């Protein structure tokens, strides 16, 4: 069962080749889930801190081309925006 607030990403990777920013969407969503599930632990900020700035959630340009191909119909752009906001 999904924890409330987490997203049902199956890491199928269908979305990845559709992202003009070349974000590793499934990895970011996995970190988002971890962050939500733990109520804001240190793992996600640490993992994101190790990424170059242009691969972090705030690098999403909200184009939604990933969402057109996601079988789980995850609103990826909104999730990444929320992730960036949670991390300040
Ligand atoms: S909405 Fe964001 S994550 Fe999705 S394809 Fe566009 S830039 Fe990439
Ligand atoms: S297409 Fe959807 S379910 Fe598949 S990896 Fe991307 S976000 Fe996750």
17-60 tens-digit pLDDT: 999 999 999 999 999 999 999 999 899 999 999 999 999 999 99
Distance, in Å, from the CA atom of 74 to the CA atom of 71, rounded to the nearest integer, reads 8
Q: For the chain, give every domain's residue range.
A: 22-87
The protein residue with its alpha carbon nearest to ligand 2, atom 7, reads 9
Residue 1's pLDDT is 58
H-only helix segments in the chain: 25-37, 43-49, 76-87
Q: Which two tokens stand for residue 31?
A: 């970190």
Q: In this model, does residue 2 exceed pLDDT 90?
A: no
Torsion (CA) 73, 75, 79, 81 in degrees, nearest 10: 160
Q: Is 25 in the pocket of ligand 2 (CB under 6 A)?
A: yes
Q: How far is the CA of 71 from the centre of ligand 2 (A)?
A: 7
Q: How far is the CA of 81 from the centre of ligand 2 (A)?
A: 16
């Amino acid at each position: 069962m999904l924890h409330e607030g987490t997203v049902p990403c199956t890491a199928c990777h269908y979305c990845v080749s559709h992202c003009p920013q070349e974000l590793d969407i499934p990895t970011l969503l996995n970190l988002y889930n971890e962050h939500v599930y733990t109520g804001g632990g240190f793992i996600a900020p640490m993992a994101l801190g190790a990424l170059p700035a242009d691969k972090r959630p705030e690098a999403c340009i909200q184009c939604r081309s990933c969402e057109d191909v996601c079988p789980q119909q995850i609103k990826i752009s909104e999730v990444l925006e929320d992730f960036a906001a949670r991390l300040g």
